[in-house]
Structure 1
Amino acid sequence: MSFPRLVDRRPELSPDELVQAMTPPPRFDVVRFDTYLPNPEEPSQAQAVRDCSTFAEGINADTGGGSWLRAMFGRKKTGDGKSGLYLDGGFGVGKTHLLASMWHATEGAKSYGTFVEVTNLVGALGFAETVKRLSEHRLLAIDEFELDDPGDTMLVTQLIAKLTDAGVRIAATSNTLPDKLGEGRFAAVDFLREIHAMSARFSVVRVDGPDYRHRGLPDAPPPMSEDELTRLAEATDGSTLDDFDELCGFLGGLHASKYGRLVDGISAVHLSGVHAARDQDVALRLVALADRLYDRAIPVRVSGEALSALFTDEMLHGGYRKKYLRAISRLTALSRDLAKS
């Protein structure tokens, strides 16, 4: 029997669609500050809610006019004179929930995207056009902010400088403090001036705590047999079934900014023959796919090795460690979703 496969889909996004798509993903459509449940044992979480709410209120209180007025006079900054808010903390503490809540609480034109979506927008529109369009917005929210290579460093630091000078407020989430971005991935020391200039524009809000996705919950279900995986894929309307290696190869030819469109409308993803990623490039593509699946609450079933074995010990002790742990956390939660059904 022939099953629908992700590798047979050909997602495309026009430049205008890229701009229109810059909104929180489906999982975060309905989140608000009052739906965030701070861990009572982690006071930084309740403080983060207050700081993020104050940040959004400050944007709304600013009734400045168009971008030419903002460029001349600027907008109000945070209490410490900075124009951006940077949520730093481990994975699974609700940073994306808070970022999306800021977006929802902000009035007027605004945009929201992952770091890779923002960089891809620049690639699609060009730097000047991206600055022009986003300068009309009151807020740019950037999730999963990270500097993975020198090109991204120069691009993003310049973009943030242009936008904040035009009065746009920037809110971002990351697992890395802004002045430590890029460490362990490339020769970040060569770009310290740019990194420090960018980080100086942000107030840092720390969000501490354990991964909420797994507090008091069982481990992910073990991988199943090929026959059981095929049977369940057939029984799940709207699902896909892909060979893991074939999917990894397919992702290599698809820009990560299209991974969300790739899985739109899918009810569940089934992966056959899962094993550890063969190299860092494949591993990072799997991280991006895991994030987009999680954004859309698309459950996952696998055969082969467990999802916790996607990344080698060497990877888990390298510069991308936090990304890999976040992916495992999210995929574990998604596989648990299907196990309950």
Structure 2
Amino acid sequence: MDFEAHLTAAAAAHGFVPDTAQRAAAAVLADLGRELRRRPRRFARGVYLHGPVGRGKTFLADTFHATVGVPTRRVSFHEFFDSLHSAVFSHGSADAAIAQWAGDSRLVVFDEFQVDDPGDAALLTRLLTVLRKRRVSLVLTSNHHPHDLLPNPLYHHLFLPGIALLEECVRVVTVSGPRDYRAHDAPLGNFAGGYTWNGASDDAAGRRHMPEPLERTTLTMRSRTLGALAVRGTEVWFDFAELCERPVSTQDYLDLAERFDTWVLTGVRPAMTGDGWQRFANLVDILYDRDRTLYVRADRSLPDLLRDSPMRTERTASRLALLTRAS
């Protein structure tokens, strides 16, 4: 069965029919799969899937990963990049760390590829260089065209070499069909706990009783401590300011996601800085990827929260909308 047939079957199992944009992207992925299998010692130009949220980019990439039939690694970009920093420190060399991580993979699938930090630009360019030399092909999903990565005009020039290399390594394919599948059709999974605001109590988030002062506790992380409003078994309560407006790292969020299955975040509001909102967006990504349950208690409705936020919010908005569907 070729990839396009696999995709049609997988879509049917999820209750939908691939749209025109998805089928066009599937044809490009099918070409990549055939080249990888036919010419195992040659570099095959990969695929960069970009477009609005909820159009099926991750579904396409995951179905391809599951069916391509060559040694493949699939990673969430947040989790991978944080582990890469640690590996580079351990090895003393980015090249050695990347080579060990890639192993014998012929294909790496990166979900949610993004570049927002100027400090990461050089390391990402090195990553692309090493994988290209090792003849590792890429499939990437992103909400942004390569030219829009690292969008801050003060720093965008730092990633121009990386963008040029990326476009040598992949075919850029737009997936922008008319339907937002996540908004209407995506299963809620464990992630979608609920969203409540201004003290509303008519949903699952509002019905969870607020912690008492005696429940406050301190959690010890690798590099810092965090104050939690409560820990109830595998359920943790945090205040938004403590978790997102302090310099908490993505690795801290990843470690906490291993420890707690259910999260309640109170006092959510537009962050005072873009860094604070970026941390919140990273946290939402991680909990969504790990299928951890999230309840949000905010000071305003979701449309108002997103309107007043200090930076772009497309993916975060799409994932938070799942919480409102569950409420």
**TM-score tier (shorter):** 0.7 to 0.9
Partner of 2:66: 104
Partner of 1:279: 273
Partner of 1:225: 199
Which whole-Å CA distance do the structure 2 matches of 1:286 and 1:86 have between them?
A: 26
Larger mean Cα displacement after TM superposition, 206-215 or 112-121: 112-121
Which whole-Å CA distance do the structure 1 matches of 2:35 and 2:255 have between them?
A: 33
Which whole-Å CA distance do the structure 2 matches of 1:336 and 1:238 have between them?
A: 24
- Structure 1 residues 107 and 185, CA gap change in structure 2 (3 angstroms): farther
Letter in 1 for 2:208: L
Partner of 1:203: 171
Cα deviation per residue 1:185-228 (whole Å; 9 max; x = unaligned)? 543235434422322221012111332122389xx854263878
Which whole-Å CA distance do the structure 2 matches of 1:147 and 1:138 have between them?
A: 24
Letter in 2 for 1:240: V
Partner of 2:214: none
Partner of 2:239: 243
- Structure 1 residues 247 and 131, CA gap change in structure 2 (3 angstroms): closer
Which whole-Å CA distance do the structure 1 matches of 2:123 and 2:113 have between them?
A: 13
Could you tell me whether the CA contact under 8 Å between 1:148 and 1:186 is conserved in 2? no
Partner of 2:122: 154
Gaps of 5+ in 2: 1-5, 89-93, 187-193, 211-231
Cα deviation per residue 1:128-169 (whole Å; 9 max; x = unaligned)? 222322152111111221222333222112211221221111
Q: Percent identity?
A: 26
- Structure 1 residues 281 and 40, CA gap change in structure 2 (3 angstroms): same
- Structure 1 residues 47 and 101, CA gap change in structure 2 (3 angstroms): same
Deviation at 1:233, TM superposition (A): 5.6
Which whole-Å CA distance do the structure 2 matches of 1:147 and 1:193 have between them?
A: 13
Letter in 2 for 1:36: A
Deviation at 1:334, TM superposition (A): 3.2
Could you tell me whether the CA contact under 8 Å between 1:143 and 1:172 is conserved in 2? yes
Which whole-Å CA distance do the structure 2 matches of 1:325 and 1:294 have between them?
A: 15
Alignment of 1:1-341 (within 5 A): 33=7, 34-36=9-11, 42-64=19-41, 74-75=42-43, 77=44, 83-126=45-88, 127-133=94-100, 134-184=102-152, 186-189=154-157, 191-209=159-177, 210-215=179-184, 222-223=196-197, 225=199, 229=205, 231-232=207-208, 238-249=234-245, 252-253=247-248, 255-264=249-258, 266-303=260-297, 304-311=299-306, 313=308, 315-316=310-311, 321=312, 324-337=313-326, 339=327
Which whole-Å CA distance do the structure 1 matches of 2:154 and 2:140 have between them?
A: 21
Which whole-Å CA distance do the structure 2 matches of 1:192 and 1:130 have between them?
A: 23
Deviation at 1:95, TM superposition (A): 1.0
Deviation at 1:110, TM superposition (A): 2.5
Which whole-Å CA distance do the structure 2 matches of 1:128 and 1:186 have between them?
A: 28
If each structure's strand is expressed as a fraction of its own residues, which one has the higher value? Answer: 2
Q: Please, what TM-score do these two structures have when normalized by structure 1?
A: 0.71
The alignment's C-alpha RMSD in Å is 3.2
